[in-house]
Each structure stands twice: as structure tokens, then as C-alpha cells.
Amino acid sequence: MFMRNLYYRLFLVINIVIAGAVYTAPACAAPADSIISISRGVMERLIGSRAQHIQLQVIPAPQQHDVYEISAHKGQLLVRGSSL
């Protein structure tokens, strides 16, 4: 039950971060470091110390479409997106 709740919260946090970035990215094209630090701040406020197990990376957007990838390896969650 605990792990199910944790996965649900992580899924929710990732979707909130992605949705927020998708809606605000066109208005403010910020550098990748700024986008990552803002996204990390949101994650830390929502899930606390578990945010340290999530890595964020900005990847180029093909043909002006927002894309994202989620993968996990050895206890680390990797979220890559054109706008985080």
C-alpha cells in the first residue's frame, strides 16, 4: 500500500511539473538550468526528500512539439523532456 501511494504521488508530481512547464514554456523560454531548478523546487515541496531520487534533463523538442520520456534504473527515476 505504501509503495502504491508513493508511485501515485510521484506520477502526480511528474504530471504537475510537465503540465506547468508545457503551459508556461511558450511564454518564458528559460535556460535549461533554470527550468530544472524550478521543477526541482516544485518536486521538493510536494514529495520532500524523495525528490533527490529523481533526475531531470532537458532534451531538444523535435519540430516544435513538447516531448518527454520517463525511465527508472537502480532506484533512480529519470524524467527527460523538452520542457520540464
Please give the chain's pLDDT, 84 residues, in tens.
Answer: 556 677 777 777 777 766 665 555 554 556 778 888 888 888 888 888 888 998 988 888 788 788 888 898 888 889 888 875
Separation between Cα atoms, residue 21 and residue 59, nearest integer Å:
13
Separation between Cα atoms, residue 70 and residue 76, nearest integer Å:
11
Q: So what's the pLDDT on residue 22?
A: 55
Helices 32-47 and 2-24: angle between axes, nearest 10 degrees: 140
